[in-house]
Structure 1
Amino acid sequence: MKDLIAKRYIKALSSVANEDELREYLSCLDILSNAYNISKFREIMEASYICVSTKKELINKVLDKELDAKFSNFINVLAEHKRLDLFCELKTELSSCISALNKEYKAVLISKETYEEDILKDIEDKFGKQLNVKLKLEQITTSNDGIKLVVDDLNIEISFSKEKFINDLKHHILKAF
């Protein structure tokens, strides 16, 4: 649920800011999300008995720089709607938004085997060319037979499973009789 809310806020922010400003905002959200992991900061942000102006002052002190008008208004809107607990989700969504602007996406290759860097680079290049994007491939090893390539931001999942292939083959053969 928080992801959907964060997506709406980032959509609004990205509609009024250019890419350089978005990168600056990403660094600010990174600082705030790291600060949110500190229990005292999190308590203050979530406390209903602390006024909004005090929370905004603390955010300004944590960022330790003068905020531009757009990001300052963004923080004000978050504070007014009691959404100061979304810094981590906002950072993730803004990172995805910037990646989408540059057509750079993260892909995950899940397989039983570990592949060499040159094979991973080849997969990145060929699959990225097919999609007309730039991919950064991360590999995860698992105990399952088969291979799966997932690009979450593009909602793409390609998989091949040995078990599924055998079951489909058996089903096809049995249908023939």
Structure 2
Amino acid sequence: MQYELIAKRYIKPLMESCDQASLENLAELLSNISKAYENEKFNLIMNSNDVNSGSKCQLVLDMVAPANSSTVNNLIKLLAENGRLPLIPVLASELKRSIASSKRTYKGRIYSNGVVDLTSVDLIARDLGIKTESVIALEYVASDFDGIRVEVDDLNVEINFSKSRLNAQLVEHILKAI
């Protein structure tokens, strides 16, 4: 959580100073750098006290050199100056989230223990998008949930319809009627 707050401090000026295409390119570039952080050897170098911060910065700058962007280079240098190069993966995900929020496009998941066909997934995504005034893309994830659960994290939306909960409510309603 702490890293997300720090990342947002870097993202806000980027969102204000860059156009949409530049932001999307930057998010993609940072995502590619983030993949390097999944490599154990790369992490050893980045977390090593034996390697100075200038060398770490140069390593990351070499990775982004093909982009030929002063904005990207300055961002990397700023992160290196503040000892925040390990923040790049969080920065990438937060930037993608901010871009999605500005475009009002979100990704979510549908969980169910039964198979949900593509038509139903698209219908649920469309209807939920209409309710939230956004564009939502949902993917089906098989799980052991007894019913259907829809989650869109960036919108803080969770909807679930459980067979066991429905049965419990039905029994409760019948008992109240008696």
Asked if TM exceeds 0.5, the reply is yes
Cα separation, partners in 2 of 1:96 and 1:48, compared to 1, 3 Å = same
Q: CA RMSD in A?
A: 2.2
Question: Is residue 147–residue 161 contact of structure 1 (8 Å, CA) maintained in 2?
Answer: yes
Report the equivalent of 2:156: 155
Tell me, yes or no, if structure 1 residue 15 matches structure 2 residue 23: no
Report the equivalent of 2:144: 143
Please report how far the alpha carbon of residue 134 of structure 1 lies from its aligned counterpart in structure 2 after TM superposition.
0.9
Cα separation, partners in 2 of 1:115 and 1:57, compared to 1, 3 Å = same
Amino acid at match of 2:58: E
Distance 1:48 1:67 in 2: 29
Amino acid at match of 2:152: V
Cα separation, partners in 2 of 1:81 and 1:174, compared to 1, 3 Å = farther
User: TM-score, length-normalised on structure 2?
Assistant: 0.86
Query: Which has the higher mean CA deviation after the structures are superposed, 75-84 or 6-15?
Result: 6-15
Please report how far the alpha carbon of residue 172 of structure 1 lies from its aligned counterpart in structure 2 after TM superposition.
5.0
Tell me, yes or no, if structure 1 residue 56 matches structure 2 residue 57: yes
Cα separation, partners in 2 of 1:18 and 1:121, compared to 1, 3 Å = same
User: TM-score, length-normalised on structure 1?
Assistant: 0.86
Please report how far the alpha carbon of residue 163 of structure 1 lies from its aligned counterpart in structure 2 after TM superposition.
2.0
Please report how far the alpha carbon of residue 170 of structure 1 lies from its aligned counterpart in structure 2 after TM superposition.
4.2
Question: Is residue 44–residue 50 contact of structure 1 (8 Å, CA) maintained in 2?
Answer: yes
Percent identity, aligned pairs only, is 33
Cα separation, partners in 2 of 1:118 and 1:173, compared to 1, 3 Å = closer
Query: Which has the higher mean CA deviation after the structures are superposed, 90-99 or 69-78?
Result: 69-78
